[in-house]
Amino acid sequence: EKFKKYINKEKISIFTKAYHFHRAYILNKKVDESEPEIFGGNKTEKYDEKDLKILKLLAKNARIPIIEISQRLKIPTKTVDFRIKQLEKKKIIQGYRFVFDFNLFGYEYYKVDLNLKDISIIEKLKQFARTHPNILYIDQTIGGSDFEFDLEVKNKEHFLEIINELRKEFPEIREISYFNLRTYNKLLYFPAG
């Protein structure tokens, strides 16, 4: 409510699954050959209140020492270590990532939304995104666009080259909308609170 005067248009969508790719462009690779990390869409796993407290601490700071978690939660260090390993094994914890400041490297960050004439091309779009060195994320959503992805590029000209490449390869794209992020905050898949 307090920021409404600054918002021209709002769009709400629910993320159901996210594919995270690696920054192949940093290594001057033409194609990202690594497997993506996939978040969401998995089966439900059981956890308890202690697991939840551990997850909350790790969500704030993934590098927090196990001893500190143990002291804060007043549970043995071995128990904390065991529980973290179990959370990783169950894929409740799927990975740890650093926050990359693309501005420091002279790159720009864009979020792109595609509306399609034919949604049967989504798998081909996923393959295009998966192998493109500058595309970092694919977001599957409910209530959003037909296909959403994020990328980091050298500049706006580089971004438009990729968009033109996309339009040539996929004439089934009806509309492309995008916005440029000036800063990128930590992506947290764990609810705050």
Query: Rounded to two decimals, what is the model's pTM?
Result: 0.72
> Which numeric CATH code is attached to 4-36+100-181?
3.30.70.920
- CATH 1.10.10.10 domain extents, the chain: 49-89
Q: What is the DSSP letter of 192?
A: -
Tens digits of pLDDT across the chain (193 residues): 777 887 877 777 777 787 777 777 777 777 777 777 777 766 777 888 999 999 989 888 888 999 999 999 999 999 999 999 999 888 777 777 666 666 677 889 999 999 999 999 999 999 999 889 999 889 888 888 999 999 999 999 999 999 999 999 999 999 999 988 877 665 565 554 4
Separation between Cα atoms, residue 22 and residue 128, nearest integer Å? 14
Cα–Cα dist 1/5, whole Å: 8
The boundaries of every CATH 3.30.70.920 domain in the chain are 4-36+100-181
- Residue 51 · residue 90 · CB < 8 Å: no
- Fold observed for domain 49-89: Arc Repressor Mutant, subunit A (1.10.10)
